[in-house]
Amino acid sequence: MLFRTAAIACALFAGFKPVVVEASQTVLNLAPSINAATTFAPVGTLDVLSESSFTALAHPEFPAYSVRIKKSNFCDKSVGAYTGYIDIEARHIFFYFFESRNDSDTDDVVFWTNGGPGCSSGVGLFMELGPCRVVNADNGTVHHKESWNSNANVFFVDQPIGVGFSYADYGEFVSTTEEAAKDIAAFVAIFFAHFSKFQGRGFHLSGESYGGRYLPVFAAEIYDQNPRLIKAGIPPINLTSVMIGNGMTDTPTLIPTWYEMQCSAASLPPVQDIKTCVAMKAIVPRCKKWMKESCQDQFDLINCNAALSFCSESIMTPYRNTGFNIYDLSKKCESGDLCYVEIEEIVKYLNRKDVQALLGVEISKYQSCSDNVGRDFSLTLDMMKGATEYVSALLDRDVRVLIYVGTYDWVCNWLGNEAWTLALEWSGQAEFTSQPLTEWKIDGKRAGQTRHAKGFTFATVDAAGHMVPYDKPKESLEMVRRWIAGQPL
């Protein structure tokens, strides 16, 4: 999921609309309860963790980092549920962890992040793929049978600093994906070092939207960290794959397709009037040329920002004026800038004091998306730096990559995602581009189309919007099951 101002597409566009800076979050407890001293020796099992206080874990190889974790019996009481913080000196990143409903001792591990930049993975947990959903905040959660923890152990992480329940003691922040990646890689290393039963398991990084920028960079940092872990006597992370849903991986390729998605029948009949489409079509070639010259051929912060602001406003504003949901062409926007009333209920639920006490969170106000984080990333134009080079490098190192896209999404649509996957330069490009799109099915019924070669898969999910697990829970779970098992879609 994305963010809250009109200044967004798959990221916060600098100069598109003034950013509203949110009030500082109140820190509830800067000295949380920790069981005795920080533990350096491997804990081995999650069974030793307490429900009443955090256990702090660390490793001498990462002196600036520690991980606090506790049992939190909520959401899916049939499995182990845990919450905690990744502490980086004065910065604190919140996470949830759920063991697999199938077999936590053998199943793979999946990491999930929402996008933004600046949006909380609590939305992914409580609206999309988590073991429970929030429909009405006052009534608590309801069981979600198509959760991705049906056959995997799953993390949901509020990253980077300032997102969801994550916070900094003195206003520290990160403003690039490469900076954020270091924190995630250290967290993963410490977690696996302490909980030996997960060592050697397949590890899959997954997420959506701005996750298309995050995840390839995170995966590269984890992969490149492995020699350091081995040297320190820590088992390496078995990085197996990256799964990106409706991602913003190549923004200059994506933005021109906003015109096609509203003015052609690429997914549904055109939603835009002819006069507006004719005017918009004349702008597209200029935008392609300007973004290529200023953002790709040579990165020029001022000119790239000007190109991004002009092109995004010229193509996005007419679409927003139609009243349609930017995350789903088939629907009108229901509520606020994020368009879903469900998100409002999640925010209410996570602001309940009893829920915050159960989770062990340390700030008093939860927001689904942080304008501050979006602003910080927009000032570096992080979104325009792309992640395609990381994807090709991962593929050439035998890390599988799945790009899946709901066909009704407008903002991070299937046209833009298919285009960059076909243009990607890597050792399997010729074989990948030679493959036609073919149907993939569930129980004999078409679920979408797919193309794949040598560990790289592009797949559409029919009639799903930006949040595929929300719109098509059965199809998304089966897709993930097959992918984790190494089976073709």
Would you please indicate which residues are annotated as catalytic (active-site) residues? 209, 409, 466
Backbone torsion region of residue 386, taken as left when φ is above 0, otherwise alpha when ψ lies between -120 and 50, otherwise beta? left
Tell whether the torsion through CA atoms of 12, 14, 19 and 22 is positive or negative. positive
Spatial separation of the C-alpha atoms in residues 456 and 488, rounded to whole Å: 11
**Residue pair 243/249 in contact by the 8 Å Cβ criterion:** no
| Beta-bridge partner residues of 158 | 94
Residues 342, 134 contacting (CB under 8 angstroms): yes
Please list the helix, strand and coil fractions of the chain in percent, rounded to the nearest 5, in that order.
35, 20, 40
Question: Does residue 403 contact residue 419 with C-beta atoms inside 8 Å?
Answer: no
Q: Residue 257: left if φ>0, alpha if ψ -120 to 50, beta else—which one?
A: alpha
- CB atoms < 10 A from the CB of 462, how many? 18
Compute CA 489 distance to the chain's CA centroid, rounded to the nearest angstrom. Answer: 22
Bridge partners of residue 453, in order along the sequence: 456
Query: Cα–Cα distances in Å, from 436 out to 59, 244, 431?
Result: 48, 21, 10
Q: What's the CA gap between 136 and 55, in Å, rounded?
A: 32
DSSP class per residue in 228-251: HHHHTTPPPP-EEEEEEEEE-S-H
Strand 140-143 with 65-71, pairing:
unpaired
Residues in Cβ contact with 211 at an 8 Å cutoff, skipping those fewer than 6 apart: 113, 114, 115, 244, 245, 247
Name residue, tokens 């000032």: 379
On whether the CB atoms of residues 85 and 66 are closer than 8 A, the answer is no
Specify burial of residue 6 (Cβ count, 10 A radius: 0-12, 13-18, 19+).
Answer: middle
For strands 239-247 and 400-406, give the pairing: parallel
Tokens standing for residue 356: 């915050």
Residue with tokens 């076909």: 422
Nearest to 258 by CA among 409, 370, 411: 411
What is the Cα–Cα distance from 388 to 93, expressed in whole angstroms? 27
Contact 140, 188 (CB under 8 A): no
Cα 330 off chain centre by: 23
